[in-house]
Amino acid sequence: SYELTQPPSVSVSPGQTASITCSGDKLGDKYACWYQQKPGQSPVLVIYQDTKRPSGIPERFSGSNSGNTATLTISGTQAMDEADYYCQAWDTNTVVFGGGTKLTVL
């Protein structure tokens, strides 16, 4: 079965750039999306179709996807961005989630 691998945790200082990776076999041939989830809340879509931002998502969130890796980049990270982030892709009629990355803004 298809698997997506994310680092368990990423730390970043306020105002700096955070990069969260998601790895999977030939992931660049599929569409990836990203969700942000804060404690006790439902997930929020922040990137879909590799690079697109839904309405209302700040421009500091961006995405890329090539080869075996999709990347979520948060530029000028703010304290409010501290959350769990999940990547997602579709493979052979199945939606697959990565294990999630806890982003800490120190």
Partner 1 sequence: QVQLVQSGAEVKKPGASVKVSCKASGYTFTSYGISWVRQAPGQGLEWMGWLSAYNGNTNYAQKLQGRVTMTTDTSTSTAYMELRSLTSDDTAVYYCARRILADASDIWGQGTMVTVSS
Q: Which residues bind partner 1 (CB under 8 A)?
A: 31, 33, 35, 37, 42-45, 48-49, 54, 86, 88, 90, 93-100
DSSP state of 64: E
CB of 36 to partner 1, least distance (A): 11
The residues, ordered by sequence, that sit 6+ positions from 92 with a Cβ below 8 Å of its Cβ are: 2
Q: Output the CA angle 99-37-71, nearest 5 degrees.
A: 55
Pairing mode, strands 9-12 and 101-105? parallel
Q: Least distance from C-beta 15 to partner 1, angstroms?
A: 29
User: Of the two residues 93 and 106, which places its CB atom closer to partner 1 in the complex?
Assistant: 93
Closest to partner 1 by CB, 56 or 106? 56
- Given the complex with partner 1, which of 67 and 90 has the nearer CB atom? 90
Q: How far is the CB of 42 from partner 1 (least distance, A)?
A: 4
Residue 24 and residue 42: Cα distance in Å, rounded?
25
